[in-house]
Amino acid sequence: MSDAPTGSPLLRLGRLELDRELRELRPAPAASGLIVTATVEVPESPSERQYAWDVAWADAARQAGELGADQRTAEALAAGAGQVPAGGSRVVVAAHGEVLLAWWLPADAATGSVRAGPVPHLLEVAAAAARRPAHVVVLADRDSAAIVAHGAGDQHPGRRFAVGARPGAQHDPHPDRPPALRHGERHLTGPEPESGGEQNAEFIAARAAEAAATVGAHIALGAGDPHILAAVSKHLPESLGPITVIASGPSVPMDDAPLAGKIGTALDEITAAAIAEVADLVASASAAASPNPGAVIGETAVTDQLTEQQVAVLLVGPDLDQQTADKLVWAALQQDAIVAQLPDSAAQPVAALLHRGHA
């Protein structure tokens, strides 16, 4: 891979945006107001997968009823399950007989469970959203280029932006000649006479920036000819580039679906580094002697800052109990904070980077 993206680590993390119905949900302690969160993993059976999927959700509904959820809410879980996905798991949140969230998680992001309580259990979903920020994938070879823009969370297929021919581009009078005879290094970004390659790279970069703006992306991944990707990368805005190369070769399909695994691996690496940077910011800001620190550590301090609507990033450690985590995550999402899980080696159970603690 090429150099990692630059800029604030917050720009390299995704955020779970609550739909209006979920945002307006008012938790109630009564049994009739229990909110159910069910996570069901895709069955491994190669045959009758949809049948096994339906059975799994029927089991989830039964468990929800045993936990005290009303019948309409328990039965609503299956409505959010939909068709069995290719892999991973689905999380469905239901309350008052309605589905409030249906979210796909990649493999190993969560284990199967059914929970019922006064607030939804959204830690795994929010943490998975943090690891799938908006991004663009630049696909480029000597004959064509395309950009695919993916929104945060990556719950929907990406939108493909065709690059097309650069305005004013010349035609190559000898298109069949080998690359070594095409005017050297400066010409590796496009099959046209003389010095058009650099202009082509600038044009592709402009299209990538346009695509990124449609989804609010600050991460660019790339596949294809490494010379072209390097040339394009030089023209990207600092908040988007440089391109992280996930696959290189002289040609590439103009569709990033076959690259899904490599895209996921690259995003995992980028977001893990960003979370580590945020943790370092929290450690340094919370240790500073100031009446208004830029970060806080511990349940009481984090709760106070959530009350004041000051939390920009909530970091949840592995040792925080489920009930407390649910409460803090729910409060953080209500104020549009990023929620990330700390690794097993985390020293603190919960911490927060505050709005006054980052640019």
CB 330 within 8 A of CB 22: no
Query: Is the confidence at residue 357, as pLDDT, over 70?
Result: no
Range with top average pLDDT, 112-121, 162-171, 248-257: 112-121
Average confidence (pLDDT) over 276-288: 87
Where does 135-266 sit in CATH, by number?
A: 3.30.420.60
Report the C-alpha gap between 34 and 28 in whole angstroms.
7
Lowest mean pLDDT among 22-31, 66-75, 138-147, 340-349: 22-31
pLDDT digits (tens, 9 = 90+) for 92-128: 999 999 999 999 998 888 889 999 999 999 999 999 9
Q: Taking the chain, what is the end-to-end CA distance rounded to the nearest angstrom?
A: 28
Name the residue among 328, 292, 324 with its Cα closest to residue 313.
328
Reading the block at residue 192, the tokens are: 């046209």
pTM of the model: 0.87
How much is the pLDDT for 186? 42
Query: Is the confidence at residue 184, as pLDDT, over 90?
Result: no
Confidence at 58, pLDDT banded by 50, 70, 90? very high
Confidence at 6, pLDDT banded by 50, 70, 90? low
DSSP state letters, 326-341: HHHHHHHHHTT-EEEE
Q: Which helix (H) or strand (E) holds 273?
A: helix 260-287
CB 291 within 8 A of CB 328: no
Confidence at 183, pLDDT banded by 50, 70, 90? very low
Q: Of residues 30 and 206, which shows the higher confidence score? A: 206
Confidence at 311, pLDDT banded by 50, 70, 90? very high
- Cite the beta strand spans of 87-212 per DSSP E: 89-95, 98-105, 113-117, 135-140, 145-150, 159-162
CB 250 within 8 A of CB 237: no
How much is the pLDDT for 5? 61
Q: Of residues 65 and 250, which shows the higher confidence score? A: 65
Query: Is the confidence at residue 268, as pLDDT, over 60?
Result: yes
- What does the domain layout of the chain look like in residue ranges? 17-121, 135-266, 274-357
Name the CATH superfamily housing domain 274-357. Answer: Ribosomal protein L30/S12 (3.30.1330.30)
